[in-house]
Structure 1
């Protein structure tokens, strides 16, 4: 807003307080301080305080409530009053004539003249007075009851309606012998509450985030791999086993996207929940060449020439991202990390939009669970499920290939073309034309979860199981009976062997079970160890651990066989009922029995892990 200089106005110049003494022109103003000192300064070098007692308060109006005709009338009044104020020989008759023309009293005209003399000749001062908001006239105690009821009764996840809130307030007012406020009064008080806070209390943080004002923007990137965003999500689809095609649940999908080109760098699809393994598998897939990976899945025609190393990895505060294994891998390869603030998914909009795009594609596949119950409707995802994990993996690969070769709205180019164009630009140094190639053999091991264990006479003990190998002899001799803790890396999908890091050679040694046992996953190991809690101390041995594992697998196999048989029986019964011919239990059993349905043999064998014959050498 304009701030005209007026004689007598208090201003600041050169860090001191002055008053305007005389206006000499557009290039000079005469100032005088309390000590009588006078200076001539440039008006543009004068600082006018925001609050000046010598000037009237600024006029604040809502411009939306006035029409063009009202603005034109206000400008006419301003011009008429300005001419009257500048009239040299102004008389009372002149004031009365302007008052009659404007339809105002003489006292109001004199007040407006003083206002113009103080330098406030804004058109806003001459607009018609708008109606003031109606003052609240409820009793203070009733106001307090309404506020308390809104916060204690209405702002709850139960999402009570306004009608129920009004009845609740009426009951409280009646108990206090006070009049019940009108429904519109209660509605007005609810509307005056902080709507973001109210949405968070009633609908959760996600609804509140959708109401926030978006400010700022992502810093972006100037080259591929400069900033990489990664995130995991449960995939909205039910999968089946490759063998008996029974439903096994929802997988977890993890994606990595390049902020510069918007190209999808890699992904992982595992049946495990979001964990160190899912993030590590996605990073390895993104950083390594993909030709062999695509050929093994029959997708040699897919063009995905992306590999390299992120300079900065951006992720949320999920425990799978902050796990020790992931952080250890980032440190080993010099990858900086940037953690997204909790509750601000819009800061990682690129990966969030990619996940949304991929899940919308998944919603078109058989067996989808959709994003919520409302979208699912009457669709039975378990009955329609028919895709296995490898089949869904191939489908996602083809979807990502289409994504990388389709124009992206964020960059206005095809992500793959933009990615490759950077490395083909003329001014790029030769050393920067090819991304760094990370070691294929050990990259996954550097990101997997790990524990620190010392080598003992029995080898390495991890998860109540001993691991040992003849390859540990050099380390055993080097330690010379000293306790030296080393990093032991393990894969949660298979605990048949672990990897010990030799710090001198900076290489991993694969160490299998010391005593041959069937393979097991980390989840199966945890379930088997939990059975120890009800066992006697003498029964808590390694052999007992694998006995428990065998029993668990037998129960799972029987349950799968029974479920498959019952499902087949229901199918036959439904088919016979459709033709009006009932089927006997004996006939159903004969029809539905198959080697696949009743197979209960575990997928491992005792010969899967071969023993070694030189145990005594340790």
Structure 2
């Protein structure tokens, strides 16, 4: 059986008798509890319908009295309470009509009118004074005009990001087409508020995502019981622009991939990159989360600081981005015995912990000179002299220090620092002395390392403008498309698959310093070297253009000469009998005379 939910319908909400007041959004309604006269918002799944879905005649009246009560002031409510108490005694025949009139201060005839409205089940609300004049939400427009306005508003119900001016213009257009007088703007605003739910109004103005964040219900939450049980991950584009190594140009804004442990709120691992999110950045961030951080701190020259958080998570919770659903990444998680799950589509709040952490870290970034801030409105208020000052390497070191500062700052939710929460569980005096360890760290890193195919040349294997060599490659020189893997955190060596196993191959030039993949990207973006065959200056381009003009001019002249010669031949054929061609007499040169210098030019 189908039931239409209507205003004034009797239902059972959360186990209590109630009346439907009206919709709140697509998933919830406002109800009036009959026992307490309290208005509450409940979900549709919390409502039980009466067996006979018939609206009671007292429902609308009770809703009207409830609205009347909410609109009354304290003085009117006190008067209603006094009259209700006197009329109740009159109803029980404890006093006479004359005594009731005297106590209330009205005539006897008026007491009869008040007694007619008296209802014990409705309470004192039946004695509230009804104000004169137009009632709230009353409508006085022509029904045809009301219908047209509703039709126009209905076309905007499912739209998002619409201004009121656009709605107003649509109403004016509809009214003019029917030769109806258009109402004022305030009337249209009131019709929108009465016709649309709060969520629909927010979506119409700010978009679907903002409306979902403000109005969607979020009952319950997952509560982790120990560290590494539940880890969330997400990406963000950092609100900061980094410079080239020579500080002459801006490279762009880095991307940040984060892993947060929900129980302790520690940043288990992260990865800063100069390319959009990909399987590479996700794998690097996960490897950083699982492995100890000593080498990471040493590369950043931060060995004096501690970063004791590491370990394989039991569950990684992520969104539905392409890189989080790639077969290579998910199969690597399966091989590492790490569970994973994805958020429901469109439910951003399911990753609320990592989203809030991203906001916290970006607030720190906003204090830097050169921050782009989170939106254009705030960016316009920045001072013009706030230019970027940090290279990518400097920003990576600064961000690592901010992460350590975050770990030592008391968190508002867990009431302690994330570092203390971690050490309370993993530490000499904690529940467990050490986090879970990876039995074969090298194999784990290989599983998540990015891979490429390269040819083995006599000079070694070329990768990222550097050559790698080891005598073990001698028998394999000339092999093509050999599988190799590399560690984005350290390019000092690569791993090449030879005869079914991976072998480490170092730099051919052992004097080269170690470098990370992102530092290499930063150097490539900052270098101004030209590709082979590129023009080195404007003169080359000008010479190329002039040579082209000479070629095109010579082609035109050659064509004209050929046409002139062909015309001459045809003319001679046609008029050969009438035209006497005088042949020039050839004069043999006199070689006894001295030579004369040539006077002329090209």
TM-score range, shorter chain: 0.5 to 0.7
- 1:300 Cα offset (Å): 0.8
**Given that residues 162 and 204 in structure 2 are in contact (C-alpha distance below 8 angstroms), is that contact kept between their aligned partners in structure 1?**
no
- 1:399 Cα offset (Å): 0.3
User: 2:54 and 2:143 mapped to 1: Cα distance?
Assistant: 36
Label 1:108 to 1:142 Cα distance change in 2 as closer, same or farther (>3 A). same
User: Bigger shift: 299-308 or 164-173?
Assistant: 164-173
Aligned residue for 1:304, secondary structure, equals coil
User: Bigger shift: 324-333 or 412-421?
Assistant: 324-333
User: Which of 110, 113, 117 in structure 2 is aligned with 1:108?
Assistant: 113
Task: Note the 1:134-213 alignment, pairs <5 A.
Answer: 134-150=137-153, 159-162=162-165, 165-192=167-194, 193-213=196-216
Matching of residue 408 in structure 1 with residue 411 in structure 2? yes
Label 1:293 to 1:492 Cα distance change in 2 as closer, same or farther (>3 A). closer
User: Bigger shift: 50-59 or 140-149?
Assistant: 50-59
User: 1:56 and 1:196 mapped to 2: Cα distance?
Assistant: 30
User: 1:321 and 1:186 mapped to 2: Cα distance?
Assistant: 46
In the other structure, the counterpart of 2:74 is 68
**Given that residues 87 and 115 in structure 2 are in contact (C-alpha distance below 8 angstroms), is that contact kept between their aligned partners in structure 1?**
no
In the other structure, the counterpart of 1:437 is 437
User: 1:410 and 1:212 mapped to 2: Cα distance?
Assistant: 23
- 1:375 Cα offset (Å): 2.1
**Given that residues 284 and 488 in structure 2 are in contact (C-alpha distance below 8 angstroms), is that contact kept between their aligned partners in structure 1?**
no
**Given that residues 368 and 381 in structure 1 are in contact (C-alpha distance below 8 angstroms), is that contact kept between their aligned partners in structure 2?**
no
Label 1:107 to 1:414 Cα distance change in 2 as closer, same or farther (>3 A). same
Matching of residue 355 in structure 1 with residue 358 in structure 2? yes
Paired residues, number: 440
Label 1:152 to 1:381 Cα distance change in 2 as closer, same or farther (>3 A). farther
In the other structure, the counterpart of 1:220 is 223
In the other structure, the counterpart of 2:13 is none
In the other structure, the counterpart of 2:320 is 317
Q: What is the Cα-based RMSD across aligned positions, in Å? A: 4.6
- 1:294-330 per-residue CA deviation (whole Å, 9 max, x = no partner) reads 1122101111111111111121122122222221122
User: Bigger shift: 255-264 or 54-63?
Assistant: 54-63
**Given that residues 233 and 254 in structure 1 are in contact (C-alpha distance below 8 angstroms), is that contact kept between their aligned partners in structure 2?**
yes
User: 1:123 and 1:403 mapped to 2: Cα distance?
Assistant: 57
**Given that residues 276 and 448 in structure 1 are in contact (C-alpha distance below 8 angstroms), is that contact kept between their aligned partners in structure 2?**
no
In the other structure, the counterpart of 1:338 is 341
- 1:18-44 per-residue CA deviation (whole Å, 9 max, x = no partner) reads xxxxxxxxxxxxxxxxxxxxxxxxxxx
In the other structure, the counterpart of 2:575 is none
TM-score by length of 1: 0.60
**Given that residues 326 and 448 in structure 1 are in contact (C-alpha distance below 8 angstroms), is that contact kept between their aligned partners in structure 2?**
no
Label 1:362 to 1:134 Cα distance change in 2 as closer, same or farther (>3 A). closer
**Given that residues 276 and 321 in structure 1 are in contact (C-alpha distance below 8 angstroms), is that contact kept between their aligned partners in structure 2?**
yes
Label 1:334 to 1:382 Cα distance change in 2 as closer, same or farther (>3 A). farther
Task: Note the 1:199-278 alignment, pairs <5 A.
Answer: 199-213=202-216, 215-242=218-245, 245-278=248-281
- 1:408 Cα offset (Å): 0.8
- 1:73-99 per-residue CA deviation (whole Å, 9 max, x = no partner) reads 2232222222222238x8xxx335535
In the other structure, the counterpart of 1:366 is 369
**Given that residues 217 and 347 in structure 1 are in contact (C-alpha distance below 8 angstroms), is that contact kept between their aligned partners in structure 2?**
no
User: 1:188 and 1:350 mapped to 2: Cα distance?
Assistant: 38
In the other structure, the counterpart of 1:393 is 396
User: Bigger shift: 256-265 or 439-448?
Assistant: 439-448
- 1:382 Cα offset (Å): 12
**Given that residues 227 and 310 in structure 1 are in contact (C-alpha distance below 8 angstroms), is that contact kept between their aligned partners in structure 2?**
yes
In the other structure, the counterpart of 1:124 is 125
Matching of residue 78 in structure 1 with residue 84 in structure 2? yes
Task: Note the 1:287-306 alignment, pairs <5 A.
Answer: 287-306=290-309
Aligned residue for 2:362, secondary structure, equals helix
- 1:108-156 per-residue CA deviation (whole Å, 9 max, x = no partner) reads 355356x44xxx2623333333674353232344234334444557986
- 1:306-358 per-residue CA deviation (whole Å, 9 max, x = no partner) reads 11111111211221222222211221222222322333333322211211121
TM-score by length of 2: 0.62
User: 2:102 and 2:148 mapped to 1: Cα distance?
Assistant: 52
Label 1:149 to 1:272 Cα distance change in 2 as closer, same or farther (>3 A). same
- 1:386-405 per-residue CA deviation (whole Å, 9 max, x = no partner) reads 32222111101100110000
